[in-house]
Structure 1
Amino acid sequence: MIVFMTMRGFADTLEPFLRDWGPSLASDVTIIDYEELSSMRVLPPAAYVFADLERLSAHGTRQAAQVQAAIRSQAPDALILNDPDRTLCRFELLAELHERGLNPFRAYRLSETTTPARFPVFLRYEHDHTGATSALAADQDELDRAIVRALVRGHSLRDLLIVEYVETSSDDGYYRKYGAFVIGDRIIPRHLFFDTEWVVKSPGLRDPGKVEEEMSYLHDNPHAGQLSEIARLAQVQYGRIDYSVLDGRPVVWEINTNPFVITGRDQQVPGNLPRQGFFVHQFSEALREISTTRAGKGEVVLPAFDRLHVSPSRFGSLKGVLRRRKRRLLPMISIAERVAMVFRRPILALWNRHIARRRES
């Protein structure tokens, strides 16, 4: 048995796989959302995966760590994947990779500074997987405008990162984004996406040459050793490493601890089935090994705690309201942006004073 713990509403990352591709594993996999834990008394004997760690609030992470401690004390033989106390989430991981010379770029919390060391940069959320929330900013003025625009559009500034841009396009003009799963001590290549734009979030170009290149990546697993090193550094045993390659080495953008595994069979293009089947076989084999050989022998009595909370600034915030009412609010947002740009300097001065007060406290 494997118990996956996820945020509420994010179990769909695994469900299509279990339904359409790995039905023989469905009885061996249980998905529990973190919010359920407060109403549960015991966890079944299993191996345990703490997913979605980057989406948890600090309070939620502490509660997850209490669950992990209960597992370790009561079922010491059970495998735990992603220790809430040790796994590095996005900002900490990017800082560590840069410090060790493994990544050529830095990230900055907008709650700590508005002035990066170099440009261009872009904004992105620290705690979700939506990618860049701004265009590239070539200088401080463009970054200031992007910050104010993000504020007007309902983004929480304290949850945003400033990320230095790295040019990773190949000689053929294409950007390549690689994705590889970490499952235990295995590295399993998942996909290779191509695009002519620097933000690469979907398969995009699928000409025969690109398909062949992706199949070679899936079969050869060329970066397995380097990715294993990165996973050990991040203390991640389940997730997907998203990265590009520069000068022969991976440049890591993030590790998603609750990655989408695969879409249902009814959404597959026939030409993709060999590629998908190759991945599914390896993924299923890795889960089966963990379920049959690394599960604990007894139930785990859970500690008593209040319902686990996520950060309200990340979920259910003004950003969500604006998204739901985007069409009606668009003219108002446009006007608000123009007004805010006129006053961007005093707005940013207020934010920088807030940063300074936090440093002093």
Structure 2
Amino acid sequence: MLAFVLSEDHQYAVRDVLETRPHGLHKRIFILSYTEFLSLPELPVATYLFLDIERLTPPKYAGSIARLDALLEKRPDLRVLNRPDQIVDRMETMSRLHAAGINEFRLVPIDTPASELRFPVFLRGVQDHEGPKSQLLHNADELAAAIAALPSPRGYGITEYIDARNADGLHEKRSYMRIGDRLFPAARDVSLHWVCKGEYTDPAGVPQPEEEIAFLRGEQDMEVMRRAFDVAGIEYGRADYAVVNGHPQIFEINTNPWLEPPENVPAKARRGAQLIIDNYLDGLTALDTKSGIPRPEWVAVPGALTLPARILQRRSLVHKVLRVFGRLHWETRVMGRLRRMRIL
């Protein structure tokens, strides 16, 4: 059994795959919000995967650590991926990767003196996944002007630019995903622009489906990527990176990555998208098998909090009904049927 714990507003990142196709994990998965993890008097017996930790408020962060400790007192045999108290923010993650000699570039605080930077640089949010917040900045004056243009410098950092162009002169971004002990390639995107978005609607994108398939079927960069995940302390997530002078350079590691369903992408990209989904489901299946938990079970855990309830929408109402009747592990199958009926 597997239990995902993540913010309610970002559960689409796992639901869009798990609810939309046949797989052997239906009736083997619980999907909980952090509010539920903190407030339910009983919790599932499962291997736990904590996602979206950077989005937690300080009270929920502290509460999640305390509740997890209480759960593990009851069931010390349970495996946990991404313990909240072992996941650090992006600034610290990038600092670790640089200190370990994996990254040659740095992400530094917004108030770092220009004299200490290697230009060009750009601004980016330190907690979001929205990419650069400025153009490339080539000197101290351009940097100062870009910072002054921000609504507030709070929540931003300065990233030293690296030239991620490949042998063809195109900007290439790769991705690897980790699920417990298993790593696999999860994307290869190419762009004419230095901001390689990896979006099919990006006019600067250069489709190379055959090259992506070859990358997805191989193990290129795996040794370095495993070390990067270990240095960051992340056991579930996706790392985006580029290879510069033969060395992977990590842009970020996202603990709640969204995988695009193959049916949503252009026809020429579907084989690659399907391969990524297949590897993802294989990784979850292997993790579930290692859990050794044969059937759904709940355990009473002390320390449940009384938290304000959100207004029930259609999806959350179905979720609550399944939970009340002890069938929450059926949710991915039930939600899938409701999607097909266009009720959700």
**How would you bin the TM-score normalised by the shorter chain?**
0.7 to 0.9
Map 1:53-68 → 2, pairs under 5 A: 53-68=53-68
Q: Write the distance in 2 (CA, Å) between the matches of 1:302 and 1:216.
A: 50
State the one-letter code of the partner of 2:213: M
Percent identity of the aligned residues? 30
Q: Secondary structure at the match of 2:260?
A: coil
Q: Write the distance in 1 (CA, Å) between the matches of 2:198 and 2:302.
A: 40
Deviations 1:2-32 (A, max 9, x none): 1111112100001121122344423222221
Which has the larger displacement, 291-300 or 124-133?
291-300
Q: Write the distance in 2 (CA, Å) between the matches of 1:33 and 1:201.
A: 29
Greater per-residue helix proportion: 1
Which has the larger displacement, 295-304 or 73-82?
295-304
Shift of residue 35, structure 1, vs aligned partner:
2.5
Aligned pair 1:173/2:169, yes or no?
A: yes
| Residue number in structure 2 paired with 1:191 | 187
Structure 1 residues 206 and 38: CA distance shift in structure 2, 3 A: same
Structure 1 residues 130 and 302: CA distance shift in structure 2, 3 A: farther
State the one-letter code of the partner of 1:145: A
Structure 1 residues 295 and 131: CA distance shift in structure 2, 3 A: farther
TM-score (norm 2): 0.81
Map 1:63-212 → 2, pairs under 5 A: 63-110=63-110, 112-113=111-112, 115=114, 116-151=116-151, 156-203=152-199, 204=202, 205-207=205-207, 210-212=208-210
| Residue number in structure 1 paired with 2:49 | 49
Q: Gapped runs of 5+ residues in structure 2? A: 309-344
Deviations 1:36-95 (A, max 9, x none): 334311211111011011222343322221232123222221110101111233111110
Map 1:276-355 → 2, pairs under 5 A: 276-294=273-291, 299=299, 301-305=301-305, 307=307
Q: Write the distance in 1 (CA, Å) between the matches of 2:246 and 2:118.
A: 24
Structure 1 residues 187 and 72: CA distance shift in structure 2, 3 A: same
State the one-letter code of the partner of 2:279: Q
Shift of residue 197, structure 1, vs aligned partner:
0.9
Corresponding residue pairs, total: 300
Q: Gapped runs of 5+ residues in structure 1? A: 309-361
Q: Secondary structure at the match of 1:14?
A: helix
State the one-letter code of the partner of 1:255: I
Cα contact 2:127–2:155 (8 A) shared by 1: yes
Q: Secondary structure at the match of 1:281?
A: helix
Q: Write the distance in 2 (CA, Å) between the matches of 1:175 and 1:87.
A: 30
TM-score (norm 1): 0.77
Shift of residue 306, structure 1, vs aligned partner:
6.1
Cα contact 1:87–1:234 (8 A) shared by 2: yes
State the one-letter code of the partner of 1:271: K
Aligned with 1:228 (options 217, 226, 232)? 226
> Once superposed, what is the RMSD of the aligned Cα atoms?
2.1
Cα contact 1:41–1:302 (8 A) shared by 2: yes
State the one-letter code of the partner of 1:171: A
Cα contact 1:109–1:159 (8 A) shared by 2: no
State the one-letter code of the partner of 2:93: L
Aligned with 2:212 (options 211, 214, 230)? 214
| Residue number in structure 1 paired with 2:339 | none
